[in-house]
Structure 1
């Protein structure tokens, strides 16, 4: 079925169309939720809550093309996962302000994906979230700050500290030092 036609049917409340939309995007969106959730169970909960919002908000969404749809779906899943995490965490991380600008490090691109995922999963929650939102999902620090309810300088600080942590772990575990 053509995607635009599928979206139209979902907007009308067609259960089969909702299932088709879910099946088409569930794997990608679960991977997004899992990056931000502290465990599989929370990722699944956030994903299903996000799909309920998707079905509710879809009538207001104007379909342009699949990349626009995927971006919209991804943003809803990220927002839902972050809201759920905020509820889970009783306190936000408070870190000192740094004026470090984002600096892309080539060592990230050179690493094996599995090893990088393992290292990133070792980051403290606050650092991991900011790092993933910036590096993987391409959010600017201003956007990260708004989504997480922190200051932009805190976002930059957590990103900087995440990079330091990863570089230190690389040097210890793999004999590599990042830049």
Structure 2
């Protein structure tokens, strides 16, 4: 059974674990309420940070995080005002687990919108495999300003609405998926 950890914050994440088999499908764009409905009662809910099930091994740093756009009541978007939408997923290997390409594709592939198409596959400067993807459903769910990339100097730049990406650590210890192309 695949291990999952769950935690949410727009500017960073804390993490804990659960099981994929015990949850319903959560994809980018899901609301915080949907994640809570899928994973049950959180251990701790701090608004944009929601901690769920802890790891089997409490000494492990293995985690999966769900990252949400922070609630913006004045944005005119009822989902944001109601607690945010899922903008990113961070997965860390549990204990001695190695996340193989097949594992990553299965886990990340279950969390993308159904209209997702691959734009390109590439390797980052630090050796991570990465994929740039697009979804019209995501473009319709989020404001254009939620889709950002990073230039060579690390500055944020707009990218095509609906663009998201995921990357896998060269050593198989983690993967990340999120809106935009800043990896």
TM-score, normalised on structure 2? 0.25
Of Structure 1 and Structure 2, which has the larger fraction of its residues in helix? 1
**Higher strand share goes to which structure?**
2
> TM-score, normalization: structure 1?
0.25
Max radius of gyration: which structure? 1
